[in-house]
Amino acid sequence: MNTPSSPLYNPLTLPNGAILKNRLVMAPMTTCCGFYDGTVTDNLIEYYRQRAGSIGTVIVECGFVDTMGPAFPGAIGIHNDDCIEGLSLLAAAIKEQGSKAIIQIYHGGRMVEPQLIGGQTPKAPSAIAIPRPNATVPVAMSAGEVEDMIIKFGDAARRAIAAGFDGIEIHGANTYLIQQFFSPHANQRQDKWGGSRENRTRFPLAVLEISRQMAQEHANKEFIIGYRFSPEELEVPGITFEDSLFLLDKLAQTGLDYVHFSMAATLRPSIIDTDDETPLIDKYIQQRSAALAKVPVIGVGNVINKADAETAMAHGYDLVAAGRACVAYPDWADRIQQYDDLQLSMNSDQRTELCIPEPLWRFPLIHSMVREINTKKFHAGTYQQTVSDDYENKFVINVELGQDFIKDMSLINAEELDHVSVRNFNEIKERILAANSPYVDAISGATSQCDAFKKAVTKAISTSYKVASIVEGGDGDDKTCDVVVVGSGGAGLAAAIEAHDKGASVVIIEKMPIAGGNTNKASAGMNAAETLFQQQAGITDHKEWFYNETLKGGKNKNNPELLHYFVEHAPAAINWLDAKGIRLNNLTTTGGMSVDRTHRPNNGAAVGGFLISGLLKNINERGIELMLDTSVTDIELKDGRINAVIVNDEDGNEQRISTKAIIVATGGFGANAQMVTHYRPDLANFVTTNHKGATGSGIALLQKIGAGTVDMNEIQIHPTVEQKTAYLISESIRGGGAILVSRHGKRFVNELDTRDKVSNSIIALTDHYAYILFDEQIRQENKAADTYIGKGLAVQADSLVGLAEKLDINPETLSNTVERYNRFVEQQHDEDFGRTTGMRHPLNQPSFYAIPIAPGIHHTMGGVTINTNTEVLDTNAQVIKGAYAAGEVAGGVHGGNRIGGNAIADIIIFGIQAGDQAAAYAKDL
């Protein structure tokens, strides 16, 4: 039995006079369980309450300081004063138990995924992407935006004080925005915020200075300000350990209460000089300046038992933080006094007992600690797997399994690989064997390779399960559920959520490696009439208007019953999303609509990424299984009813899933050039805005079991598509006030006429292309524009004359065109083309932007025939029992032309209906 005489339990006085009762700290760890708006949840408060008390200090996970800053779903915010109330409850819960409460403040910068910020392009010091495949190129912050960001960090510090926290930790680590400003890789600015190492310290110093200013004005002298840092970067050029010491010395001279290493292990050596095995903390103690020596230092990483923490202190750390250990053991600080051999593991039925929020429980870092109870056993043996990383390196791996544990791993082709790959394999192997799970942390800078190694283990386990099932007399390729949803776009995800909530067991099958489908690309919004948000905005609208305008836009070819259902249920679908934390309360208009009924995120962002992010959060909260890289190859019928689906994974492994109902939501066939030209030869060689998975596979599947089709030759081309990238320029830009001009600088069409008419007008131009022209005000009101600018699609100038020169257009002609349009806006009467909507303000606010566009294949209105219950009908218009379809895979709703904003409405309205009907059908069987 240990005694509490360890130095871990000695108090520590910080430079500002604050006293920490012991040297133990709960490390900040993402829980991913904030509300959609960043406010804290009750289960988050209780999670921290249970872990406070015996531990001296609790550092709460990072709060984003700006709406463009969350780096992960379910992040908590400290970005506006509305957050203070919830944060105060969180701080109080920690302090009432006797621990100090500190909160991190951060901004993700270029680490932010566009789908987390409504499809917008992230902001960063420079327009340089993270060095990883398919990373988004961020928008470089202007000097003014840098100054504003510093103020936002200051405001965050003020809010932390107002909420009652004992301190803040400035998050300058993990390659987030503050670290990006200091990094010579991420920051290649030429102004005072970049260039020399001295200049690159300006931003973190400014954040510290404004935080100290806020503390002096609003807090007592014992308000704690710490700084977390990553000591090195793998990028070239990147931050070196010497660079970090330089920055930390500057921060210490300004005034800090502690510094916090961000590493996977307290005694980790350099990740750059791999031949030097000296722990960085030892170098830090030897090389730190006199000013820095007065600042306490926190170590973190692989601290589980008391001996780990004492060893860390023996190397020079003043405080020791534990992350996963505090998750597994809420009373960790007490427990390590009594036990010498704590294990990072939890039984699968302990989540509620340990007060762990559901999203955190499913986080890979935590899931790797979960031990299944009463689970099926492996079939012991060795399973060889061949896997590849993103750089096409192949790894042949033998995975040896015992009956209930991963026994060993070996890299068979190690001699063919470089020493770094072998080293990475050995490190991941140790983590996997220690955790008895493939769900372990990747090695920094080697994520793709680590994912390949982990994938070999998951494939081996899957194979062993099948073998075990066969040995026991079962079918190793069979599984069962009530409803199979095929496709993970908006329709499929909405259907899965609704079916689950109505009591059905659900599995989602997605043939692509990521979820979202074409919905990820949607940018305009979701149409609905007579909604609560319209009423709140004072907009008069009627479902009858919506019906008639959609019918007119569809050339009177729409199925009346489907269209009536669509219009009547659109407001309820808006409310359904809102109840799921997906609020679309910003209103605009699209071509063919007479009023603002296109609902989108409050900040005017593209709707697609926002929608998919919100729906996936709901999928994860419900624990609905989503099988990626898996294709449905066949649908089985028995006695005229759906009985099973046959699926193939990416390696060609076949599996049978018994089911009572299937919902096909695979989208249209706009990316299948052969299928498009079969029905519309005139569209040969047109670019397509569709993602590569939109091949019509769902239509073909349903046709094999007798489904009928309708309107297959009705294929829509979108007028504003950038031709080199096939990137769609949202109709919301024109709805926000943009105009179209020919290469001669003249308007030629009502920009908000229906898509077919605008497209035909562009095709009729001599050069068959045009420019969409907008100003800074439209950019600010329509955040999708940031994406286009960030991707380099737009030509930009400070004046119309300058823009005309860049476009090789006569400056006088373009200026006269814009001046004439501005006069129409003031009169609210377009004398030339009869435009009546989207004339919101004159185009007169620099900068000015132009994007070259021409039509591209966008939407296939035709598909399988369904009724208002979303039941699939056969070629004789009879119901195929158990088969449902929703979204672009089904025809009839849009007729001969789809109105912008109606696709999102379609997928949500009929996705909900399909989920509801399929669940009810399965329940009745």
200 carries an active-site annotation: no
The span from the CA of 157 to the CA of 167, in Å, is: 8
| Alpha helix ranges (H) inside 29-122 | 42-51, 84-95
Q: Residue 274, SS3?
A: coil
Half-sphere exposure of 507 (CA within 13 A, CB side): 22
Q: What are residue 33's phi and psi, to 5 degrees? A: -125, 30
Number of neighbouring beta carbons within 10 Å of residue 670: 28
CB-based contacts of 225, cutoff 8 Å, min separation 6: 16, 157, 167, 168, 169, 170, 208, 211, 212, 215, 255, 256, 257
The span from the CA of 439 to the CA of 448, in Å, is: 14
Nearest one of 647, 687, 708, 696 to 667, comparing CA atoms: 696
Query: Looking at 23, 324, 656, 755, which residue is catalytic?
Result: 755
Question: Looking at this protein, which amino acid is placed at residue 439?
Answer: Y
The span from the CA of 862 to the CA of 849, in Å, is: 36
**CB contact at 8 A, 154 and 86:** no
The span from the CA of 426 to the CA of 433, in Å, is: 11
Which tokens hold the place of 454?
């982990």
The span from the CA of 816 to the CA of 825, in Å, is: 14
Burial state string for 628-651 with b = 16 or more CB within 10 A and e = fewer than 16: eebbbeebbbeeeebbbbebbeee
**CB contact at 8 A, 871 and 884:** yes
The span from the CA of 180 to the CA of 187, in Å, is: 6
**CB contact at 8 A, 42 and 247:** no
CB-based contacts of 893, cutoff 8 Å, min separation 6: 558, 559, 562, 563, 566, 861, 902, 906, 910
The residue whose two tokens read 């190492």 is 197
Q: Residue 21, SS3?
A: coil
Reading across the β-sheet that carries 394-401, which strands appear in turn? 381-388, 394-401, 406-411
Q: Which helix or strand (DSSP H or E) is residue 261 part of?
A: strand 258-261
Which DSSP letter does residue 899 get?
Answer: P
Please give the positions annotated as active site.
Answer: 755
